[in-house]
Amino acid sequence: MTDSHLPANALPQVSTWGAFRATLKRDLLVAFKRRNDLLNPIMFFLIVVSLFPLGVSPDPVELSRVSAGVIWVSALLASMLSLDNLYRADYEDGSLEQLLLSPQPLYFLVLAKNISHWLISGLPVVILSPLLAYMLYLPGEAYVTLVLTLLIGTPVLSLFGSIGVALTVGLGSRGLILAVIVLPLSTPVLIIGAKAVSDVMFGLPVGSHFALLGAILALALTMAPLASAAALRISVD
């Protein structure tokens, strides 16, 4: 008996975990094939932070005072720069429609795409942040706090950004609309992350800041993929 005569229930079924891994692997492979899209947010992050002392002041005391805010703002802008790549290629080649028609829960497929976006845009920012913090004269006792806040906060930027991209994926010109949607969602993370680094520089406790960031991350992991999935169904339909 050939495969064409097999009953439908005899066809191999892909598990949710298998679909999650396949989506994550595919997005990472596509990203590494498009080197420009991969390098753009990283180079943007490096250039913005590197040029900041030239535009403000080379004074170590002044740079140390604003270093946390500069790195966090640059991380937010770098994340937004790469958001357009999250669903654009899939929408243009029709694979996004296939994703929506998949029998697996769309929540996990969207989450896989969000994780791949963070791995190629957020994780390099976290890795490079100590080097740039050293360049901006950030005190040594604040390095760990900076890295940890970015490690918790940058996934939130990708998750919240996914909602804005999903709502605007079908629009021709979406840059301004995307910023209007994403910035209000991401600003609390920016404020809490930068304040945690600033407080540790003055010897103040930062446990509450990490608790807030952790709560926001848990909320984003729970709700953002659901919101993105619903927005994709609306935008594509």
For the chain, give every domain's residue range.
Answer: 15-236
Give residue 3's pLDDT: 44
Q: Which residues, 6+ apart, have CB-to-CB distance to 178 below 8 Å?
A: 80, 83, 84, 164, 165, 168
The CA radius of gyration of the chain, in Å to the nearest whole number, is 20
pLDDT digits (tens, 9 = 90+) for 64-102: 889 999 999 999 999 888 887 788 778 877 778 888 888
- The span from the CA of 121 to the CA of 125, in Å, is 7
Tokens 């950004």 belong to 161
Q: Which of 171, 175, 179 is nearest to 234 (CA)?
A: 171
Secondary element (H or E) of residue 172:
none
Residue 7 has pLDDT above 50, yes or no: no
Residue 158 has pLDDT above 80, yes or no: yes
Give residue 11's pLDDT: 37
pLDDT digits (tens, 9 = 90+) for 195-234: 999 999 988 899 999 999 999 999 999 999 999 999 988 8
Q: What are the tokens at 70?
A: 């500069």
Spatial contact of 74 and 49, defined as CB atoms under 8 Å apart:
yes
Q: Which of 91, 84, 106 is nearest to 228 (CA)?
A: 106
Angle, CA of 195, 199 and 205, to the nearest 5°: 115
- The span from the CA of 88 to the CA of 76, in Å, is 20
Angle, CA of 151, 130 and 42, to the nearest 5°: 70
Q: What are the tokens at 122?
A: 């957020």
Least confident residue range of 35-39, 47-51, 220-224: 35-39
Q: What are the tokens at 166?
A: 């999903």
Q: Which of 107, 129, 104 is nearest to 48 (CA)?
A: 129
How long is the chain?
237
- The span from the CA of 194 to the CA of 63, in Å, is 14
Does this model's pTM top 0.85? My answer is yes
